[in-house]
Amino acid sequence: MTSPIDSPPGVEGGGASVVVDGEEPKKAKAGDAELVGRSPGQLMWIRFKRDRTGVISAYVVIFFFLIGLLAPVISWLYGKDPYTVYADERPELFDSAGVPVQPNGGISGEFWFGLEPGNGYDVFTKLLYGIRTSLGISVAVTLATVLTGILLGVTAGYLGGRTDYWISRVIDFLLAFPAQLFFIASMPVVVSLFVSPRDETPVYVRVVALILVMWFLGWMSLGRILRGTTLALREREFIEAAKVSGAPPWRIIRKEILPNVVTPILVQGTYMLPNFVTAEAGLSFLGVGIVEPTPDWGQMFSKASTELVMQNDITYMFFPGISMIIFIVAFNLLGDSVRDAFDPKTAR
Amino acid sequence: MLRFLVRRSLGAVVILFLLSIVTFLLFFGMPRDPALLMCGKTCTPANLENLHRVLGLDKPIPEQYWIFLKNLVMGSDDFAQGPCPAPCFGYSYHSNEQVWGTLMDRLPTTLSLTLGGAVCFLIIGLGTGLIAAWKRGTLVDKTFTAGAMVISSMQIYFLGPLALAILVYQTHVFDKPAYNEFTENPAAWFGGLIIPWVVLSTIFASQYTRMARSSMIEQLQEEHVRTARAKGMSRRYVFFRYAWRGSLIPIVTIFGIDLGSLLGGAIITEYTFGLPGLGRLAVESVFFSDLPLLLGVMLFSATMILLCNIVVDAAYAFIDPRVRLA
Amino acid sequence: MSRGGRRVYAAVSVLAAGALVLTGCSEGGSKGSTNDKEQKENAERQQASIKFGDAAASKGPAAEVPGAKPGGTISVLARDSYAHLDPGQIYVQDEMAVSQLLHRGLTGYKATSNDGKKHEVVGDLATDSGTTTDGGKTWKYTLKDGIKFEDGSPITSADVRHTFERQFASFINQGPPYIQQWLADTPGADYRKLLPDGPFKGKHLPDSILQTPDEKTIVFKFKKPHPDLPYALAMTGYAIVSQKGDTKEKYDKDPVVTGPYKIQEFKSGKSMVLVRNENWDPDTDPLRHQYVDRFNITFNQQYEDSTKALLADSGSDRTGVSFSNAVDAGNLSKVLNDPKLKSRTVGGYQPYVGQMNINLAHPEMKDIKVRKAIAYALPVTPFVRAYGGTDAMEVAGGIISPTVSGYDPSFDPWGKKKKPAGDPAKAKKLLEEAGKTGMKLTFGYINTPEGQQYSTAMAAGLEKAGFDVQRQEIPAETYYDQVSKLDNNYDIFHTAWGADWPSASTVIPPLYDGRAIAEGAQNYSQVNDSKVNSEIDRINKITDPVKAAEEWNKLNEYLVKDVVNVVPTAYYKQTQIAGSKIGGLVYDDIIAGVDPRRLYVK
């Protein structure tokens, strides 16, 4: 991790040196007084490095992202891929309903995590690629929601008035949506919006559709927080000063406001990402997200909830289950550490 | 108070109105033709056209929407299947049953699941949270918080099948979850819902443990609480009379949101355990492109969410006299 | 909160994960229930053909079931409530099964063995299975004496005329269309123009089509020969409806029955009670018995529920049975591997045959070598696996099911029984010869969990032979509408077809007659082969059902081996279970389920 805030050159540290969190400026100011000459980013980084749980969690999270990124390499070294139908390649390993004959889901030196009941995919590579798919989608949704949240939240907060009123009403309206129900209802619609090409199984269409629907109902909470933060910032002296000095609004937002909302964005971002991972998995679990044979975390859960697995091969469900628990716990701990690092005085 | 309720209710009606428009548009974007599903084995283009006419799908969309609104408020006798008193969502394309009746049929399942689960997770969650706060810093506290952290990272779609696999399929300790009418057989009602309750409340309780604990600790640091303690009141008295009340506010907020969304259909829970509640109905309505049913479920769910939000905001005033309803 | 606390988090997470892993150990799959004996029995059934019985065979009463005694109540567990009870609206298996107790038609299937495998078509309300003198154009039926509706009124030829005329009314829209089409001599739904309002507005079919010269006689007059009429009349859809008691739409909930049981109470969606029909005379009925006093039917019992209840075998479930519910996939291997439980089960074929259609409307599919390559390469195992293994699906050789007259178990042109996972080597060679290695093959699959599972594995198998398979999902609810469009995108897609009666005449003509290619029709592969067409016409005229069955089988072999427009995948099977006090439990191949007529309480 690198320092998330680059000190804006020229503007004497801008607002960034003083205000970290719009809601609690006093505390942050007090903390700053002792450590002159360091940007809040550097401070945060120093504090974060001292937090061992946070560092370990960060390593775990990085490990998961690395697995996702390197899935093809690992599979190549391991010599298998998640698409080979071992139930037909190696029929002696399965009964006629596709349950591995060996105990514990067919775990062996050859198949480290065993074989998936049904078509007999290799669970190890399937999990690697599943993590890759799920994390990829979730990162994309997080980025999209953060951008939207910044755009609408900061705009509403800075401009105020009518714009603020309408954006806030839209946020209220979208927050009242039955989100899951909306996801399920809109997935087929969004998928059909793309002209489905005749020759291709459109995996990317499903991915894009998932990103779109989750983004659509995902940005409001961040938007609302940023609106509040910006609203508070707008009244502060350094913004007033910038306005008086004739800086155009765009420059004020970019140079003065954005550096000050990095904290809530980072903290919220680390909370949002695991939520998107579980939401995406939930959709695939319900059968409206990613479907076989594309490996996906949630799709593995949907397989794990079939009678075939629950009755015959309970081992299988632990691979997606435990890996997800570890990932979510690590990410939540990381989120706590990030918040601590930014705002050490918060009681927890 | 009254002004607050009126204002919020009006806001809710506006939101529901907008939501119905969005749902309507969403439906007409769906790639499936509901008439085709109904037409059956010997379907001719003429039959299909006739069905479109019967369903009213041949009319322009704004007119269809107007008819929908009119029926919803005034009821209608125009349906071939029979009369439809207000609130009339019409008749389901798929089952030919009245949508309102279907909703009311499925409601007891969702109600039982949600309320039973809510009682469990509130008691467990608040209990463990308070204990953890009371014993702050001890091993008990650490175990509780750590356990809650791990459990809250589990998902129903993992814990649910796991519980089913172990308790139902492998050891045969319990029956497969099912919904039985309470009035007909209370024991069967209880037995059929016990696994869903346990799974639901395990996951939710862990979140309430964490919330109750941190909220309580925050309260204990408040000025008035510390003053009370400094005046010589016992720790127990301060804990339960002063801090407890203040710590409820954030919990009530979250509880209201949770309850609303659960009452509107605990989709994944009902899907995992095969319970025929509103959540399952929602999934079915999408799969069968059943517009009246989809509209019914969507608006019903949103109403539940909005209603709970209003109740929560109103409840603030009772818990915290500082809060004024504007 | 102190930092130590969060270290505990991590420690506890590891512990919890460890504990979970310990519970995660599981045994392997069933070691494969060896069904060698059953396989052999199935092989022995070959070519069990069905005859049309004469007046002697049509005489009641039915032969006693060995060991049967009267009395008692049977509780029946059913999944779906009966949406239709009007015979004219009945076309689904569960309603047909209960109709065996309620409705009678002019003809019916008499089991000639006690295992439900051998049958004969005999007269039910009629004195014989029908007589024709001109090769199947004119059929004459005479009603038996002493046949009555449940209200005691006699069944006359006027009721029979009414039964067939009301089939043309628009509210009868769920039942089979065969006889209406034959009478009107038109394909599709055009037959309704013959008598648009049915008999309800005073119009009737002329004597040149349907003649009822006296109270007892009915004569059907078709423009073309239809030697299958005795089969068709045995369908529940053509069971007799009372002219006096016809309440049109309301008849669907409260019909006037003719069988040994009548409906005492029917709570739609909840329960149904059947009691003895005192106006049913066993001496007129060669098919049915009236051993049990009462059937208590409960609905909304899923397969798992009924299996569990019947396995538990306590209380009223000891005399419990389900007409149509199968043992659920999860319990199947357990039930079949336990000899004590297995003795309470019966199993058999359903009438469906799965087949992979090759869309001949696409130019790339016109190359026979490509089609043969598909036939060799296609793995059938994914399909068998997806539906629960060999207990639920049997690898198919041809398109004629074991329940259909003329089935030949040794026919297996693509070696699917030896190599169910496909023969990619042979396929690859053929594809190379055709110069089409790497060609695109669009595979339309039904978007259900099973469809997703088998289509991906099938695609993987085809890719080994050198095809570039492109899977396209089709929503389950409109699957058959999509694939029966003439201009569809799919090169291959899977369908299943069940014979309406045990003759290939309800399989081959609708599926493979090139002249029947039409939007929404069932010639899914759009095959139009002149030899097939002319053979269909020829065999359709054969009045001897046994001879016809042999000829149909030859045509089946020609289609599968030489035309290669479809690749047969599997015959559907099922296993059903009953309580320990149930006697006379037999799986009837024609009903495709437990035969309710033979049940008694031990």
Which residues does chain A have within 8 Å of residue B308's beta carbon, measured at their own beta carbons? none
Whole-model pTM: value is 0.80
Task: Show which of residues 74-133 on chain A sit within 8 Å of chain C, judged by CB atoms.
Answer: 83-85, 87-88, 91, 94-106, 117-119
Nearest to residue A129, comparing CAs of A303, A300, A296, A301?
A296
Split at pLDDT 50, 70, 90, the class of A61 is very high
CB atoms within 10 A of CB A71: 21
Q: Identify residue B57 by its one-letter amino acid code.
A: L
Out of A192, A305, A329, the one facing B149 most closely (by C-beta) is A329
Q: B87 and B142 share a domain?
A: no
In chain C, what residues touch A307 (CB-CB under 8 Å)?
328-330
Cis peptide before A293 (omega within 30 of 0): yes
**Whole-angstrom distance, CA of residue A146 vs CA of residue C68:** 75
B154–A310: do the CB atoms touch at under 8 Å? no
**pLDDT (tens digit per residue) in A15-55:** 333 344 434 444 444 444 454 567 777 878 888 888 888 89
* B56 and B33 inside one domain: yes
- Contact of A321 with chain B, judged by CB distance below 8 Å, is answered with yes
Q: Report the pLDDT value the prediction gives residue B323, as an integer from 0 to 100.
A: 58
Comparing A193 with C438, the larger pLDDT belongs to: C438
B325 lies in a domain? Answer: no
* Average pLDDT, integer, range C524-543: 91
Is the backbone peptide bond immediately before B321 cis, with ω within 30 degrees of 0? no
- Tokens coding C484: 């029966």
Secondary structure (DSSP) of A61-96: HHHHHHHHHHHHHHHHHHT--TT--HHHHSGGGB-T
Residue scoring higher pLDDT (C437 or A37): C437
| 8 Å CB contact of A347 and B221 | yes
- In terms of residue numbers, what domain contains A66? 53-342
**pLDDT by residue (tens digit) across C150-167?**
999 999 999 999 999 999
The Cα of A100 is separated from the nearest Cα of chain C by a number of Å equal to: 5
Helix (H, G, I), strand (E, B) or coil at C133: coil
Q: Which amino acid is at C109?
A: Y
Contact at CB, A321 and C385, closer than 8 angstroms: no
- Which residues in chain C are contacts of A101 at CB distance < 8 A? 28-29, 31-32
Which among C10, C385, C421 has CB closest to A98? C385
Query: What pLDDT does residue C213 have?
Result: 93
Of A136-145, C320-329, C382-391, C479-488, the range with the highest mean pLDDT is A136-145
Interface probe with B: pick from C90, C173, C333, C446, most Cβ of B within 10 Å? C173
What is residue C200's three-state secondary structure?
Answer: helix
Distance, in Å, from the CA atom of B78 to the CA atom of B202, rounded to the nearest integer, reads 48
Q: Do C29 and A100 touch (CB under 8 A)?
A: yes
Q: Kind and range of the H or E element at C600?
A: strand C600-601
State whether B129 and B219 are in the same domain.
yes
Q: Is the pLDDT of residue C34 over 60?
A: no
Q: Give yes or no: residues B139 and B63 share one domain.
A: no
Which CATH number fits the domain that encloses residue B200?
1.10.3720.10
Instruction: Judge whether C122 and C58 are in contact, CB under 8 Å.
Output: yes
Nearest alpha-carbon partner for A320 in B155, B272, C454: B155
Cβ of residue A326 closer than 8 Å to a chain C Cβ:
yes
B195 and B257 housed in the same domain: yes
Q: Where are the domains of chain C?
A: 51-70+80-293
Residues of chain B numbered 86-145 and touching chain C (CB < 8 Å):
137, 141-143, 145
pLDDT at C16 over 60: no
Listed in sequence order, the residues at least 6 apart from C449 whose beta carbon sits closer than 8 Å to its beta carbon are: A287, A302, A306
Residues B238, B144 share a domain: yes
Q: Cα separation of C289 and C309, whole Å? A: 26
Choose among A189, A191, A325: nearest Cβ to B154. Answer: A325
CB distance A310–B19 less than 8 Å?
A: no
CA closest to C11 among chain A residues: A53
Q: For residue A83, what is the nearest residue in chain C, using CA coordinates?
A: C460
3-state secondary structure of C164: helix
How many angstroms separate the CA of residue C576 from the nearest CA in chain B? 20
Q: Between chains, do C473 and A291 touch, taking CB under 8 Å as contact?
A: yes
State whether ipTM is beyond 0.85: no
**Domain end call among B99, B118, B144:** B99
Any domain includes A35: no
To which residue do tokens 């607050």 refer? B4
How far away is chain A from the Cα of C327, in angstroms, using its nearest Cα? 13
**C33: pLDDT strictly greater than 60:** no
Q: Within the 485-514 window of chain C, which residues sit less than 8 Å (CB to CB) from chain A?
A: 489
Look at residue A216 and tell me if it is in a domain. yes
* Residue A177 confidence class, pLDDT cut points 50, 70, 90: confident
Shortest Cα–Cα distance, B26 to chain A (Å): 7
Which residue would you say has higher pLDDT here, A195 or B311? B311
Is B272 in the same domain as B227? Answer: yes
In chain A, residues with a C-beta closer than 8 Å to the C-beta of B305 are 176, 178
Residues in chain A with CB shorter than 8 Å from the CB of C9 are 53, 329, 333
Q: In what order do the strands lie in the sheet with C73-77?
A: C261-267, C271-276, C294-298, C73-77, C320-321
What is the CATH code for C51-70+80-293? Answer: 3.40.190.10
Contact flag A292-C329 (C-beta cutoff 8 Å): no
Mutation target for C interface from B51, B136, B150, B179: give the one with most C CBs within 10 A. B150
B49 touches chain C (CB under 8 A): no
Residue C514 CA to residue C529 CA, distance in Å, equals: 6
DSSP collapsed to 3 states, C319-342 = HEECCCCCCCHHHHHHHHHCHHHH
Give domain status of residue B324, yes or no: no
CB-nearest to A312 from C25, C29, C386 is C29
The verdict on residue B89 lying in a domain is yes
Which residues in A lie closer than 8 A to residue B12 (C-beta atoms)? 176
Region C456-478: mean pLDDT is 87
C chain contacts of residue A97, beta-carbon cutoff 8 Å:
29-30, 329, 333, 385, 388-389, 391
Q: Are C382 and A95 an interchain contact pair (Cβ–Cβ within 8 Å)?
A: no
Better-predicted residue by pLDDT, C413 or B49: C413
Query: Could you say which of A95, A201, A318 has the minimum Cβ distance to residue C471?
Result: A201
User: What count of CB pairs under 8 Å joins A to B?
Assistant: 127
Q: Do A85 and C461 touch (CB under 8 A)?
A: yes
Rounded to a whole number of angstroms, the distance from the CA of C547 to the nearest CA of chain B is 31
Q: Between residues 24 and 43 of chain C, which touch chain A (CB distance below 8 Å)?
A: 24-32
The CATH number linked to A254 is 1.10.3720.10
Q: What angle do CA C470, C473, C478 make, to 5 degrees?
A: 140
Please give the tally of structural domains in chain B: 2
Neighbours of chain A (3+ CB pairs under 8 A): B, C
Checking if the pLDDT of A264 tops 50, the result is yes
Helix or strand (DSSP H, E) at C349: strand C345-358
How far away is chain B from the Cα of A11, in angstroms, using its nearest Cα? 37
CA-CA distance, C306 to B131, in Å (whole number)? 46
Q: Which residues of C touch B33 (CB under 8 A)?
A: 478
What's the whole-number average pLDDT of chain A?
A: 82
Domain extent for B80: 2-99
Among A232-246, C139-153, C185-199, C329-343, the range of highest mean pLDDT: C139-153
**Residues A289-311, mean pLDDT to the nearest whole number:** 87
Chain B CB contacts of A285 below 8 Å: 157, 268, 271
Beta strands per DSSP E along C181-302: 210-211, 217-221, 261-267, 271-276, 294-298
B68, B166: one domain: no
- Chain C contacts of B137, Cβ < 8 Å? 2
Tally of domains in chain A: 1
Claim to verify: residue B198 and residue B52 sit in the same structural domain: no
> Are both B92 and B175 inside the same structural domain?
no
In angstroms, the CA C91 to CA C327 distance is 23
Give the minimum alpha-carbon distance from B150 to chain C in angstroms, rounded to a whole number.
6
B214 touches chain A (CB under 8 A): yes
Q: Which of residues 275-294 of B touch C (CB under 8 A)?
A: 287-289
Residues of chain B with pLDDT under 70: 29-47, 80-81, 265, 320-326
Rounded CA-CA distance B267/A178 in Å is 11
B197 shares a domain with B118? yes
Q: Determine the average pLDDT of the residues in C541-550.
A: 88
A322/chain C closest Cα distance in angstroms: 6
